[in-house]
Chain A
Amino acid sequence: MSGYLITIATIIVINAIVVCGLNVIVGYAGQISLGHAAFFGIGAYSAALLATKAGLSFWAALPLVVTISSVVGLLLGLPSLRVKDDFLAITTIGINFIVEAVFLYIPFFGGALGIGGIPRICLFGLRLKGFSFFLLCLAFLVLVMTACWWFTRCWAGLACFALREDEEAAASVGISPVRFKLLAFVAGTAMAGLGGALYAHYMRFISASDFSFPVSITLLSMLVLGGMGKLWAPLLGAVILGALPEIFRPLVEYRILFYTAILLLMIRFQPSGLLGDESLARKVLAKVVPGGGR
Chain B
Amino acid sequence: MSEPILRVENLHKHFGGLKAVNGVSFQVAPGEILGILGPNGAGKTVCFNMISGVYKPTAGKIVFDGQRTDGLPPHRLAALGLGRTFQIVKPFASLTVLENVLVARGIANYGRFGRIWGPWRSKDQVRAAMEVLDKVGLADLAGRKAGLLPLGNLRRLEIARALVVGRKLILLDESFSGLRHAEITRLEDLIRAIRQMGITVLLIEHNLRVSMKLCDRIVVLEHGRKIAEGKPEQIQSDLRVIEAYLGRKRRNNAAGG
B-binding segment of A51-59, A81-89, A161-169: A161-169
Q: A173-B165, A174-B75, A174-B111 are in contact. Are A166 and B106 (CB under 8 A)?
A: no
Q: Choose from B84, B109, B117, B119 the contact partner of A172 (Cβ within 8 Å).
A: B84
Give Cα distance in the complex from A168 to B48, angstroms.
14
Q: Choose from B93, B99, B110 the contact partner of A176 (Cβ within 8 Å).
A: B110
Contact across chains for B75 and A155 when beta carbons are under 8 A apart = no
Q: How far is the CB of B144 from the nearest CB of chain A, in Å?
A: 13
Q: How far is the CB of A246 from the nearest CB of chain B, in Å?
A: 35
Q: Give 27 A-B contacts (CB < 8 Å), ordered by A residue.
A: A153-B121, A154-B119, A154-B120, A155-B106, A155-B110, A155-B116, A155-B120, A156-B116, A161-B95, A161-B103, A162-B92, A165-B92, A165-B94, A165-B95, A166-B91, A169-B90, A169-B91, A170-B92, A172-B74, A172-B83, A173-B83, A173-B104, A173-B165, A174-B165, A175-B103, A176-B75, A176-B110
Question: What residue in chain A is nearest B89 (Cβ atoms)?
Answer: A169
Contact across chains for B110 and A174 when beta carbons are under 8 A apart = yes
CB neighbours of B86 from chain A (8 A): 168-169, 172
Q: Does A171 sit within 8 A of B, measured CB to CB?
A: yes
Q: B residues 100-122 with Cβ under 8 Å of A?
A: 102-104, 106-107, 109-111, 115-121
CB neighbours of A66 from chain B (8 A): none
Q: How far is the CB of B100 from the nearest CB of chain A, in Å?
A: 8
CB neighbours of A155 from chain B (8 A): 106, 109-110, 115-118, 120
Contact across chains for A172 and B106 when beta carbons are under 8 A apart = no
CB neighbours of A154 from chain B (8 A): 116-120
Give Cα distance in the complex from A206 to B115, angstroms.
40
CB neighbours of A173 from chain B (8 A): 78, 83, 103-104, 106-107, 161, 164-165
Q: Choose from A156, A168, A172 the contact partner of B165 (Cβ within 8 Å).
A: A172
Q: Does B143 sit within 8 A of A, measured CB to CB?
A: no
Q: B residues 73-90 with Cβ under 8 Å of A?
A: 73-75, 78-79, 83-84, 86, 90
Q: Does A159 sit within 8 A of B, measured CB to CB?
A: yes
Q: Does A158 sit within 8 A of B, measured CB to CB?
A: yes
Give Cα distance in the complex from A261 to B103, angstroms.
37
Give Cα distance in the complex from A280 to B78, angstroms.
40
Q: How far is the CB of B147 from the nearest CB of chain A, in Å?
A: 9
CB neighbours of B93 from chain A (8 A): 165-166
Q: A153-B120, A166-B91, A169-B92 are in contact. Are A158 and B106 (CB under 8 A)?
A: yes
Q: How far is the CB of A242 from the nearest CB of chain B, in Å?
A: 28
Q: How far is the CB of B45 from the nearest CB of chain A, in Å?
A: 13
CB neighbours of A171 from chain B (8 A): 73-75, 78
Q: How far is the CB of A274 from the nearest CB of chain B, in Å?
A: 17
Give Cα distance in the complex from A224 to B12, angstroms.
47
Question: What residue in chain B is nearest A176 (Cβ atoms)?
Answer: B75
CB neighbours of B90 from chain A (8 A): 166, 168-169, 172
Give Cα distance in the complex from A267 to B78, angstroms.
37
Which of B83, B84, B107, B117 has the most CB atoms of chain A within a 10 A radius of its CB? B117
Q: Does B52 sit within 8 A of A, measured CB to CB?
A: yes
Q: How far is the CB of A30 from the nearest CB of chain B, in Å?
A: 10
Question: What residue in chain B is nearest A177 (Cβ atoms)?
Answer: B75
Q: A155-B110, A156-B116 are in contact. Are A170 and B121 (CB under 8 A)?
A: no
Q: How far is the CB of B141 from the nearest CB of chain A, in Å?
A: 17
Q: Does B126 sit within 8 A of A, measured CB to CB?
A: no
CB neighbours of A150 from chain B (8 A): 117
Q: How far is the CB of A255 from the nearest CB of chain B, in Å?
A: 32
Q: Choose from A153, A165, A174 the contact partner of B106 (Cβ within 8 Å).
A: A174
Q: Does B139 sit within 8 A of A, measured CB to CB?
A: no
Q: A155-B110, A158-B106 are in contact. Are A175 and B75 (CB under 8 A)?
A: yes
CB neighbours of A169 from chain B (8 A): 86, 90-92, 161
